[in-house]
Amino acid sequence: MDRTAQLMNPSTERSIAYDPPGSSHSLHVRAARVLEGNWTGASTVPSPSLYPHQWSWDSAFIAIGLRHLSPLRAQTELETLLAAQWGDGRIPHIVFNPSVPLDQYFPSPDFWRSSTAGHTAGAPRTVQTSGIVQPPVHALAAWLVHRADPGLSRARGFLARVYPRLAAWHRYLLHRRDLGGGGLASVVHPWEQGMDNSPSWDLPLSRVTPAPARSFRRADLDHGAPEDRPTDLDYGRYVRLAMDYRDAGYADGGGFAVEDPSFNALLIASEHALARIAEELGAPGTARHARAERLTAALVERLWDPASGMFLCRDLRWPAPDGRGTLIPERGVSGMVPLLLPDLPPGIAAALLRTLRGPHFGLGTTTRLVPSYDLLGEAFDPHRYWRGPAWFNTAWLLERGLRTHGEQQQADALRESVLELAGAGDFAEYVDPYTGEACGTTGFSWTAALALDLLHDDTTVAYDTTATNGITATADLGFKGGNLR
């Protein structure tokens, strides 16, 4: 029996959580084949041609989907990533596969020089990584993976092994990355936030002198259309920022520092999940839930913009009279992701829902999935990476957020759109938000994984149907007061 068949056959692994549909032509089977094809033996690459290594937040989303096929493989996915954690607690955004030729992806290991330039920060010696990070979805993923098969998880000591690493990761973000002094974590490179070329970065990037074009070669253009990818000017600035960070020994606090709403919302969600993990291990989770609530208050205080009806990024290096930096006046999907959080003030949650449905994002009226950037913004481009196209990971997060705040009907509609477009586009990296046309590469791992997760909503009792503190249908994401099965 081949490995794809094993993944699809629930009898081949102890206590697989869900029985797959029987049809060999089903979306389930097609998604399983993508994940099997992108498996390296210890982790899953996002795309064999375009992204041939292990990416941090990709692996978290991939594990969330893999739990429905193989809870053991989902656990392994996260364990492989966490094994490359640095001594200071950071989880690097790329773990490099040494069998991949250096010229297949840039920036390659010889650019980052993690084991030498990152020595002071505790970079591992036995594996090469990048030196920056990505959004902290990992504790949330670990909790959901555990819940897929608690018996297997307990037998392997999965949570007991990953908890100290996840706790160290959160400590790094909450202490070393609180560059604004207001309690929120900052990103020091656009790649860290995950939405690489969002117009929200244009202003802070404009102060960065780009690296000379002759100093690097963009391998991404060998596999993706130039009109879909970041421009050469933006890429030169990304390279310059990464070089400066590397040459400073990966010490935090340089010339680029931005507080981002989705990065911090995911940290809050994972802090709630880390509390649930602690409780599962017999320790109190009260302090972590309380910390998540304080972070939610800080998120509102520092990044909420009533005039925009959403959260905005704060540029800490853009001078302002109060010394707190300045909000960046660009509406990106990042500012909608805090809808995921259960403790938002009701008025703010209601305003976010209005903005999501309004002319800037058009969900349910003009767009199939939520665009990555303001439909009315001057920089909007429906095909260029994070400057307009819709992505499946943000759709998954917002589908969870809609359910968290009781918007079942719209969550159902968004779920159906995700499943339809994921299948029609051969699990594309991202899509045109209006038409659903596939963009970027196909056979993309987190698209397949998150489609699997939404596909299995029909086969599990995934949400509370009772109201808790005024919130109904809370998604099972590890939040206090939600459906913590």
Give yes or no for a contact between 180 and 314, defined as CB atoms under 8 angstroms apart.
yes
Going from the C-alpha of 271 to that of each of 115, 275, 294, the distances in angstroms are 29, 6, 11
| 439 beta partners | 430
Q: Measuring CA to CA, which residue among 85, 91, 96, 93 is closest to residue 53?
A: 96
**Catalytic-labelled residue, pool 77, 88, 192, 196:** 196
Give yes or no for a contact between 473 and 464, defined as CB atoms under 8 angstroms apart.
yes
3-state secondary structure string across 72-132:
HHHHHHHHHHHCCCCCCCCCCCEECCCCCCHHHCCCCHHHHCHHHHCCCCCCCCCCCECCC
CB-side exposure of 247: number of CA atoms within 13 Å? 6
**Catalytic-labelled residue, pool 429, 453, 464, 476:** 429
Quote the DSSP letter at residue 245.
Answer: H
Give the amino acid at 324. R
User: Whole-angstrom distance between the N-terminal and C-terminal Cα of the chain?
Assistant: 34
Compute the distance between CA of residue 3 and CA of residue 14 in angstroms, rounded to an integer: 16
Q: Does 429 participate in catalysis according to the annotation?
A: yes
Compute the distance between CA of residue 293 and CA of residue 472 in angstroms, rounded to an integer: 19
Q: Tokens for 142, please give them.
A: 């670990």
Compute the distance between CA of residue 284 and CA of residue 137 in angstroms, rounded to an integer: 21
Compute the distance between CA of residue 186 and CA of residue 177 in angstroms, rounded to an integer: 5
Residues comprising the chain, all counted? 485
Compute the distance between CA of residue 445 and CA of residue 451 in angstroms, rounded to an integer: 10
- How far, rounded to the nearest angstrom, does the alpha carbon of residue 95 sit from its chain's CA centroid? 16
Give yes or no for a contact between 415 and 203, defined as CB atoms under 8 angstroms apart.
no
Give yes or no for a contact between 54 and 61, defined as CB atoms under 8 angstroms apart.
no
Q: Does 220 participate in catalysis according to the annotation?
A: no
Neighbouring residues of 143: CB distance < 8 A, sequence distance ≥ 6: 273, 274, 276, 277, 477, 478
Give yes or no for a contact between 432 and 387, defined as CB atoms under 8 angstroms apart.
no
Neighbouring residues of 322: CB distance < 8 A, sequence distance ≥ 6: none
Going from the C-alpha of 55 to that of each of 10, 36, 60, 104, 194, the distances in angstroms are 28, 17, 9, 15, 10
Catalytic residue set:
196, 429
